[in-house]
A and B are shown apart, each in its own frame.
Chain A
């Protein structure tokens, strides 16, 4: 158990709809990262939040947005969904103490299926 909680585990919806994925980081971790893993692809970095502020942006579509709340949980919002958005979405968190050897810890992901 990594300590990172993602809900829901599975989500099935239709094209054009909007969904919200939720992530609770490990206790004490200030950074939250979102990744997308499509079929046979590596994890593609989407966005990072640190203590409520956007810190880095990757290959995130304009239809997607995220935020981190004061209690440090994060939500990834996906709108105008397309078939190609079907993927595993992972959240990771990281502790920003001294040193760089603090790895990201991943949740078990949300599997999004667009019908």
Chain B
């Protein structure tokens, strides 16, 4: 069963505009969320994370929003750049003491930023 879902397999955005990637989860025990970016022929690269005690976390052009009641998170990229074209994976985990449990990944969204 897919506990983390990314329902949009692809997203196309013009350079300079905002990209919004969405992610839904079903397990209410998840309390830590991560976004990874993956280029072809490379492994996923960590982008940004958020704990369930927050509803927003920002790092430069990247902002992640968490809506716990809706079990929904989104990644905003502003402004989008052609180099942002990649597959974006949402992942979720439970916090266990001072560490994280296993990660559950969505299937990814292919973002294409065109000039």
Contacts and interface: CB of A to CB of B under 8 A. Distances in A.
B64 interface: no
B41 A101 contact: no
Given A90-B43, A104-B46, A105-B46, A45 B103 contact: yes
Nearest to A108: B43
A30 to B, nearest CB: 11
A113 to B, nearest CB: 15
A99 B108 contact: no
A8 interface: no
Interface residues of A, number: 28
Interface residues of B, number: 28
B25 interface: no
B6 to A, nearest CB: 8
A84 interface: no
A101 B43 contact: no
A101 B49 contact: yes
Nearest to B6: A42
Contacts of B9: 40
The secondary-structure label for the interface of chain A is: loop
A103 B103 CA distance: 10
Contact of A106 (B43, B49, B98): B43
Contact of A48 (B2, B32, B51, B102): B102
Contacts of A96: 99
B44 A90 contact: yes
B102 A41 contact: no
Interface of A: 2, 4, 6, 33, 35, 40-45, 48, 56, 58, 90, 92, 96, 98-101, 103-109
27 contacts: A2-B43, A2-B45, A4-B43, A6-B43, A42-B2, A42-B6, A42-B105, A42-B106, A42-B108, A43-B44, A43-B89, A44-B105, A45-B104, A48-B102, A56-B102, A100-B95, A100-B98, A100-B100, A101-B49, A101-B51, A103-B49, A105-B46, A106-B36, A106-B43, A107-B43, A108-B41, A108-B42
